[in-house]
Amino acid sequence: MSAARALGRLLLDGRLVAGCVEWNGERIRAVRTDLAAEELARAQAGPLIAPGLIDLHVHGYGGSDPIEQLPEMARALARHGTTAFQPTLFPAAPAEFGALAERVTASAARLDDGARVVGLHLEGPFVNPASAGALPLAALAAPSPAALRELLGPAGGSGRGIRTITLAPELPHALELVAELARCGIRASLGHSLATADEARAAAKAGASGATHLYNAMRPFHHREAGLVGFALSADALYAELIGDLVHVGRDAIDLALAARGPRAICLVSDALRGAGTGCERFHSHGREHIAQGGAFFYAGEPPKLAGSALGQLEQVQKLVARGVVGIEDALTMASLAPALALGIERECGQLAVGARADLIALRGPELALEAVWIGGHPQAL
């Protein structure tokens, strides 16, 4: 195993500290801040060294999608600072959705480079048709134990690599599904929902642990009915995703989320579509034309309908910092440690710590330009 090191300003516990990260093979063996004067000066002038970014919600990137081009998608994400991700699938009928998940997981098992897959995220099919947003209505299904069995298959989802399922807790039988998912070790994330705060609270008691793209496709917050938004912001039960392209969510709502929960509980996700990371202005996917505007993709039409993001995680970090919405430390924490905590893999990745994987990024200058990426200690081509 080869030893390597990176010298610079390290993101440690939400602060930037001059130091050095050393690793052997794929694991970090030392994180040092007790540097001699000469090395300390070099570190202070060096790049920002942060954990690799972890995307809990990404439908595609770099012209690729997880169903047909997962290896290409994984490599494209790695070239842009995301070192681990949950490929996120649009809904289908339960039996078909389960078979599709199994197919993507088999493809993930064959990956030998690029960003790592840390389980699949199924967005639906058990969501509220009245809050479907960009999800295809014809592909949604009513929650039931039988439908969940069709989706998970005989191994209870483990053989299909399913790690997260987005569902609407207010639908009949949804709480039964939340409890069953918890028994299977699968995260239930609440979203595409018109749930009240009480309904969200009941789902959390049943085992739900996430909120899918906070604010979007949810009952709006109201001072007499706070809804899922209010519950996610006022209780510690849910890790909340947040899309940081400044189109899906405005800066004041981002400020509110951070003031309420802090950066360790708000997971910056891309919700990127296949055209993200290509610079394209238009692309076709799932039979629909998509148009880029202001950092997001919209379905063509009058009026255009918000469909997903045109920015990856690092691009969102750069935009949030450049606009003065979020500080560097908080933005990177939201994109690395918070997702790791949400998945329960914080000892494995998401922070610079001895024993963790050497999944790292190096950023240079005030524009946070990506200078280097390591995954499991191996440098990645940019």
**Residues marked as catalytic:** 271
DSSP 285-351: ETTEEEEEETTEEEESSSS-EEEEES--HHHHHHHHHHTTSS-HHHHHHHHTHHHHHHHT-TTTSSS
Q: Give the whole-angstrom CA distance, residue 204 versus residue 178.
A: 9
Q: Give the whole-angstrom CA distance, residue 251 versus residue 42.
A: 35
The 3-state DSSP composition of the chain as helix, strand, coil percent (nearest 5) reads: 30, 30, 40
Q: What is the DSSP letter of 216?
A: T
Tokens of 116: 């790592």
Cβ distance 93 to 139 under 8 Å? yes
End-to-end CA distance of the chain: 23
Nearest to 264 by CA among 342, 360, 160: 342
**Angle at alpha carbon of residue 335, lines to 332 and 339, rounded to 5°:** 135
Cβ distance 183 to 176 under 8 Å? no
Nearest to 374 by CA among 352, 342, 354: 352
Rounded to an integer, what is the distance from CA 100 to the centroid of its chain? 20
Run of H or E including 379: strand 378-379
Run of H or E including 162: strand 162-167
DSSP 110-155: T--SSSEE--EEEE-SSS-GGG-TTS-GGG-----HHHHHHHHTTT
Tokens of 108: 């993930």
Given phi > 0 = left and psi -120 to 50 = alpha, else beta, which region is 76? alpha
